[in-house]
Structure 1
Amino acid sequence: MFRPLELFIGLRYTRAKRRNQFISFISSVSIVCITISVMALITVMSVMNGFDFQLRSRILGAVSDATVSSIDASGMQNWQRALEITHANPHVRGAAPYVDVQAFLQGRGSSGAMVRGIEPKLEPKVSDFSKHMVSGQFDSLTSKSWNILLGNELAMQLGVSVGDKIIVIVPQLRATPFGSVPLVRSFHVTGIYSLGMHDYDANLALINMQDAEALRSLAGPTGIRLKLDNLWNAAPVAHELSDKLGDIYSVRTWMQDNANFFSAISMEKLVMGIILSLIVLVAVINLVSMLMMLVTDKQAEIAILRTLGTTPRSIMGMFMVQGVLVGLVGIGFGVGLGSLLSWQLPNIVDWIQDVFHVQFLSPDVYYISQVPSRLEWHDVLWVTVVTFAFSLLATLYPAWRASRTQPAQALRYE
């Protein structure tokens, strides 16, 4: 089978037993270093993707993709029309009205919290509260029942459980024969949920929307929360809805409400990728050393090839083949081991925690108590391309030095 001369001799040099065994050792070290650096880069990128996915899914489990709200503090007067307009958009998969009430809750303990009024039949279309019930029933929030659902951490702060009563105090004064007093209402705790996010588990309670309207004396909901077919369509959908709804409504997206948070995660992932890419570059330096020693070891063979008419470009190609081959072997092992490690990392971490009785991510401190990992193939492709580019660049100088070999000087003492 026909093969180019450069490829044939380059592969021959790779398979042949060298006089200097130290070169073989350096070549093996180069492969191992590239493998470890690629494996580390893929694993770290997968962990960063896992944290990003977990935080995004948990936050968006409580925060809608987009929110339509009224600029009037008294509530949305004609919210049914706004609901029809939002449903007419092809990207909207669900819409649910809500009422937010800032209140003070008192059980055996006390805590301030946001009390959100929802429609139990519509809310599952825009949030995941119904999927994260620890105890009780999500459907218990019927109109005028004065039932309430609490986050697990908020329930602990109040010292209550399902079946207990709590007092909700709304900072809205009303006139009585004894003067102005805040609005006070008793609620039955009929359910406890756990989203796994401290901000929502400790600071949010759910009641029926009609009960919330009665607490705030509103003529309509505070706004409408939307679920889209693709969360990345939030910005254009918000712009389109703003044009149709008019100036009396404002439309905000999850990107606007959490832009700094997700930007910080993206920046952290980028910085980690750049730093670990430098580790790959350091690993590739061993490849330069190996090729430089190989060029010195093969001076006589290079001179003979030059006297037979081989061009400097062909000589350069022969050594580039060997350097690229070492890089490809390292990349292949690194991608395989890195993908396997990323896939099994949560199980490995759990095993280490069970065997050594340690907890890497305490649930009392971190939003996520387990090390997540999410392997994305575009990251693997990016790592492969970058490492291959580094390996290719590392071969250029040694191959160029080989192509500059003068036959007469190289064969003078042979």
Structure 2
Amino acid sequence: MYKPVPVAIGLRYLRAKRRNGFISFISLASILGIALGVTALITTLAVMSGFQKEIRDRMLGMAAHATVSGYGEPLQDWRHAVQVSLKDARVAGVAPYIEKEALISGANNQPAMVRGVLPAEEAKVSVLADKMVQGKLSELTPGSFNIVLGRELALWLGVRVGDDVIVTLAEFRSTPVGGVQTMKRFRVSGIFEAGYNEFDKGLAVVNLEDLQRVLRMGQGVTGVRLRMHDMDLAFDVARDLALALKGPYRVSDWTQDNANLFRALKMEKTVMAILLSLLVAMGAFNLVSSQVMLVTDKQADIAILRTLGLTPGKVMQVFMVQGSLIGLIGTVSGVVGGILLTLNLDAILHGIELLLHVKLLPEDVYYITGLPTDLQASDVVTIACVALGMAFLATLYPAWRAARTAPAEALRYE
């Protein structure tokens, strides 16, 4: 009794049994349409966010958050750079590196990036030591000229642990007979599997001192790699370090080095969200139909309310309240369903695989053992707001038609 009149009448229309059962069916279809659209949208975006997070974590497990390298020449005083970096509380670890493109030859030839590291320091900036499936990273001792290959790279080269490979670097050295490409024989001492194709197929790791000797770089390195406590601060920390070193340095972070990948993933997620929003829009269109039919069915009621003094604006509010409640029920149902489906999606997928005796996500193709999901509160709130907005807009036209009802015309044949 304390509710505003439009709200009270709108709630009564929502609860009341209608003479026309088809209108009730259309209203139910509107609720289900909105709920299914919201559920599908929440689940799909959670899965896409999960894959994006999985890719980012696997990539950053092997790659540094940021790098500071010499501009056009090796970084000679890299120990000073390490000391300056560690004074910054935002830095979790620092390690020097050398990185060169090379052609690696075994039974077959394959281009790859050769990275020189200090095994004892590498654990501070990457998880390479934890990704070893054969051998140990610590076997990359100075002077051993051992090499660690990615699993896919080893398969392409046709080599195993204990075999020799020839590394041909894109560097020339002067000899009495002219320029000769730099070549060196390395022994395969280990194989790693990062679960990310760019590293598994395109990365080989050697001891930093061995690569310095092959390239005749002295004590110089390509640069230093940084790992942060907060990866989002990577560029700011690397820039501050370059300024503190007071020299011409090149600064890059993980977002710059992989800009195209993350831009593509973001675009894919946005396009998918737009496409799946059409499911919610279909539920909103059904809501328009049900509201128009309800207005037609309630012509006599509207006329009586008008003669009792209810203004056109109040009449419009009645049907806006009733339609918005339908949208609210559908949205809440969809949000609850989407969250529950996302949280149990891995178990559902496993059940389908057992039932149909198929492998929907083969490990040798996707490098994962389950379906990754990342349910983000911001995505859920945005989807709920969009669905409620569509439902509200869907009520405007039928409510406007109801407000324009002429009492005399509506009651003429009653």
* Counterpart residue number, 1:218: 217
Gap runs ≥5 in structure 1: none
2:198 partner letter: D
Aligned residue in 1 for 2:349: 349
| Amino acid of the structure 2 residue aligned with 1:29 | A
How far apart in 1 are the matches of 2:185 and 2:37?
A: 60
The yes-or-no answer on 1:206 pairing with 2:205 is yes
Distance in 1, Cα, partners of 2:172 & 2:299: 94
User: With structure 1 as the length reference, what TM-score do the two structures score?
Assistant: 0.92
The residue type equivalent to 1:115 in the other structure is V
1:78 aligns with 2:108: no
Amino acid at match of 2:217: L
Unmatched segments (≥5 aa) in structure 2: none
Deviation string 1:239-268 (CA, Å, 9 cap, x unpaired) is: 323322233221111222111221121122
Identity %: 48
| Offset, 1:326 | 0.9
Q: Do the aligned partners of residues 171 and 320 (structure 1) sit closer, same or farther apart at CA in structure 2, a change above 3 Å counting? A: closer
Give the structure 1 partner of residue 258 of structure 2. 258
Matched position secondary structure for 1:121? helix
Equivalent position of 1:242 in the other structure: 242
Deviates more, 1:96-105 or 1:346-355: 346-355
For residues 66 and 255 of structure 2, what CA distance do their matches in structure 1 show? 9
- Equivalent residue, structure 1, for 2:309: 309
Alpha-carbon separation, structure 2, partners of 1:60 and 1:132: 13
Cα distance between partner residues in 2 of 1:285 and 1:103: 59
Counterpart code for 2:250: S
1:170–1:215 CA contact under 8 A, matched in 2 = no
Matched residue SS, 1:96: strand
Query: 1:379 aligned to 2:379?
Result: yes
Give 1:187 deviation, angstroms.
2.9
- The amino acid across from 1:91 in the alignment is R
Pair 1:157 & 2:156 matched: yes
- Partner SS state of residue 38, structure 1: helix
Check conservation: 1:198, 1:367, Cα contact below 8 A: no
Which residue type is aligned with residue 377 of structure 1?
A
Deviations 1:209-259 (A, max 9, x none): 111111211121111111122222223223323322233221111222111
Query: What is the correspondence of 1:5-24 to structure 2 with a 5 Å cutoff?
Result: 5-24=5-24
| C-alpha separation in 2, matches of 1:151 and 1:333 | 47
In structure 1, what is the Cα distance between the partners aligned to 2:172 and 2:326?
77
In the other structure, the counterpart of 2:135 is 136
- Write the distance in 2 (CA, Å) between the matches of 1:93 and 1:367: 28
Contact 1:343 1:374 survives alignment (8 Å):
no
Deviates more, 1:354-363 or 1:228-237: 354-363
- Name the aligned partner's letter for residue 244 of structure 2: K
Match of 2:87 in 1: 88
Q: CA deviation at 1:126?
A: 1.4
Relative distance call for 1:291 and 1:175 in structure 2 (3 A) is closer
Partner of 1:25: 25
Aligned length: 413
- In the alignment, the residues of structure 1 paired with residue 172 and residue 388 of structure 2 have an alpha-carbon distance, to the nearest angstrom, of 69
Secondary structure of residue in 2 paired with 1:113: strand
Write the deviation string for residues 262-299 of structure 1: whole angstroms up to 9, x where unpaired. 11211221122222223312220110111111111111
Task: List per-residue Cα deviations over 1:8-43 (Å, max 9, x = no partner).
Answer: 221111111111111111111111111111111112
The one-letter code of the counterpart of 2:356 is: F
Deviates more, 1:118-127 or 1:82-91: 82-91
CA distance 1:378–1:153, change in 2 (3 Å):
same
4+ residue segments displaced more than 6 Å: 175-180
Tell me if the contact between 2:284 and 2:390 (Cα under 8 Å) persists in the aligned partners: yes
Against the structure 1 CA distance between its residues 207 and 354, is the aligned structure 2 distance closer, same or farther, given a 3 Å change threshold? Answer: farther
Cα distance in 1 between the residues matched to 2:181 and 2:7: 86
Query: 1:101·1:216 contact (CA, 8 Å) conserved in 2?
Result: no
CA distance in 1, matches of 2:327, 2:171: 70
Distance 2:231 2:112 in 1: 28
Contact 1:100 1:212 in 2 (8 A): no
Q: Distance in 2 between matches of 1:127 and 1:315?
A: 66
Normalising by structure 2, what TM-score?
Answer: 0.92
Aligned to 1:116: 115
Change (3 A) 1:410 1:355: same
Identify the range of structure 1 (79-88 vs 292-301) with the bigger mean alpha-carbon deviation.
79-88
Could you list the per-position Cα deviations for residues 182-223 of structure 1 after superposition, in whole angstroms to 9, with x for gaps in the alignment? 444443323211111212111111111111111211121111
1:127 match: 126
Moved more, 259-268 or 234-243: 234-243
AA matched with 2:142: S
Amino acid at match of 1:194: E
Looking at structure 2, the residues matched to 229 and 209 of structure 1 have their Cα atoms a distance apart, in angstroms, of: 25
Report the equivalent of 1:268. Answer: 268
Give the aligned CA root-mean-square deviation in angstroms.
Answer: 2.3
- SS of 1:122's equivalent in the other structure is helix
- The question of whether the paired residues in 1 share the 8 Å contact of 2:33 and 2:279 is answered with no
Could you say if the C-alpha distance between residues 20 and 161 of structure 1 is closer, same or farther in structure 2, counting changes exceeding 3 Å? same
Partner of 1:44: 44
- Tell me whether 376-385 or 51-60 shows the greater mean CA deviation: 51-60
1:338 aligns with 338
Kept in 2, the 8 Å contact 1:312–1:404? The answer is yes
